[in-house]
Structure 1
């Protein structure tokens, strides 16, 4: 398929009400590492090369500040800026130097439903790897959308995403060989559904789930294997009720992949994943998946 100028999902910046407690959780239990900090923010890296994959910002209320992608070339930033307005979004700034740890040059946009997306090129990378039980990167972010068709059209026209699968409640969209980097969930509000951190393999997901359980953070859905994307999953509700997922085995696709529809992704009664072993999502996660809002700009 033609290369998407979006490149690869890199990081998400979130507002947390207790920065120190959130840092302890994401480093001590979730297994990220501090890469940099300022007076009001901490930047956390995973096991891969990105400078950081999660930025925690001190905030009066939990929120999403932006979702950042890493582009393959500087020219991709200009392409995104040019296409954004025509597709119904807004260019908020750039391309311009990034004035935060990690650096690079970025263009920042707002999609038609107000989510802030940032695209960076030339940012700092790590050469050394962290331990094997660390999430390597964020593999996807799921947005709740009051109008999935509007959001889907923008991601396709402005950013070159392609639809991989459409279930009864969700559109899975890709910008590279990962089955999806963004998914759009039918909802009554434009909020965050969850953030998925990819682990090296199934064993690492299971060890991570055990580590979370030991620390008093129960599995809220899983462990199981999804249909679209074929990925293993274990979901948790973290600090400030952010829904976070350990996942592995994300399906890799190319132009030969056949887009599935709702009829292709149904389970027998009582099943909630391919294996048939996962219990249904808890009431707690169902509520948490609706409540985190994006900042307005």
Structure 2
């Protein structure tokens, strides 16, 4: 039986491709609470209050899409070993293990999942000094929910190849996967096409979570759905649309998993379990439309074009 290619330490950052770079940069830095740490003509890198150099990269594009999901591993040697194991499995690599020239540096490997998503494993990224956590702003990215056309294949890849563990299912519609003690850092939602459902940002506490929502409200930004508390994961939630129409979430209090004690369960998809507080109700048609996103083949088109040119 093949071993996972690496032992993931944490979800580090997400790259989003958008046609609204200037507007989205202003939103995430002036409204959402992240801070610009580096910027050029086509990209903006933003940090939270935690120690990661950046947690979000916004990249100029003609349409919305996922650029890259980056996971931290602990050492350069683990990145090299991941490269060897990916090659042995025949997983397409877009970047073999090497020093990274992008913002934050580091040493990483980049490869492609079955639906064309670009995944990065990276070590030795530049650290930054943590910021004041009394402010009602995000620490960083805590999870990403991805729409998939084949939830079983997606779960199989991320558990078998990346070593993630399934924490819970929401019937056969959603699967919640973890790489550390947080209940989930990736979740998959069965859908008609591949796309980003939403990106969630961790607030230090429920008080910060509510104060953050209040700050957004004062700036004229109202939730698509929330505030409430989910059953699976037990986390608080409030979802918003950014200028590109992508969904971003404030969340806190995610369930912590003790590996030898946690029992995976299948949750029923009923309103009283999607929102334990009963404050949010079911998501509106508008919220569901934003979460569906637009079809995103990721790097599959690039791979197809390269193969055709050979």
1:190 corresponds to 2:197 = no
Would the aligned equivalents of 1:92 and 1:110 in 2 still touch at CA under 8 Å? yes
Q: Which moved more, 1:238-247 or 1:16-25?
A: 16-25
Q: Which moved more, 1:83-92 or 1:222-231?
A: 83-92
2:175 is aligned, of 167, 171, 178, to: 171
- TM-score if structure 2 supplies the norm length? 0.89
Deviations 1:37-76 (A, max 9, x none): 1221110000100000001112222221111111112222
Query: Aligned in 2, Cα 1:271/1:107: closer, same or farther, shift over 3 Å?
Result: closer
CA distance in 2, matches of 1:211, 1:48: 20
1:133 is aligned, of 124, 133, 136, to: 136
Query: Aligned in 2, Cα 1:87/1:224: closer, same or farther, shift over 3 Å?
Result: farther
After TM superposition, give the deviation of residue 198 of structure 1 in Å: 0.4
- TM-score if structure 1 supplies the norm length? 0.93
* Structure 1: 4+ residue segments shifted above 3 A: 82-89, 269-272
After TM superposition, give the deviation of residue 261 of structure 1 in Å: 1.4
Number of the residue aligned with 2:233: 229
CA distance in 2, matches of 1:260, 1:82: 34
CA distance in 1, matches of 2:97, 2:206: 39
SS in 1 for 2:213: helix
Number of the residue aligned with 2:45: 43
CA distance in 1, matches of 2:272, 2:253: 24
Query: Aligned in 2, Cα 1:4/1:108: closer, same or farther, shift over 3 Å?
Result: closer
1:214 is aligned, of 215, 218, 222, to: 218
SS in 1 for 2:114: coil
CA distance in 1, matches of 2:297, 2:221: 25
Number of the residue aligned with 2:254: 250
CA distance in 2, matches of 1:46, 1:175: 20
Query: Aligned in 2, Cα 1:238/1:150: closer, same or farther, shift over 3 Å?
Result: same
- What's the RMSD between the two structures over aligned residues? 1.9
CA distance in 2, matches of 1:75, 1:226: 38
Matches within 5 A, 1:61-100: 61-84=63-86, 89-100=91-102
Unmatched 5+ stretches in structure 2: 303-310
Number of the residue aligned with 1:278: 280
User: How many pairs are equivalent?
Assistant: 293
CA distance in 1, matches of 2:224, 2:9: 31
CA distance in 2, matches of 1:153, 1:9: 19
Number of the residue aligned with 2:305: none
Number of the residue aligned with 1:201: 205
Would the aligned equivalents of 2:145 and 2:197 in 1 still touch at CA under 8 Å? yes
Would the aligned equivalents of 2:183 and 2:254 in 1 still touch at CA under 8 Å? yes
Deviations 1:248-295 (A, max 9, x none): 001110221000114xx454x666411122122122121111124353
Query: Aligned in 2, Cα 1:156/1:128: closer, same or farther, shift over 3 Å?
Result: closer
SS in 2 for 1:29: helix
Number of the residue aligned with 1:12: 14
SS in 2 for 1:261: strand
1:151 corresponds to 2:154 = yes
After TM superposition, give the deviation of residue 134 of structure 1 in Å: 1.8
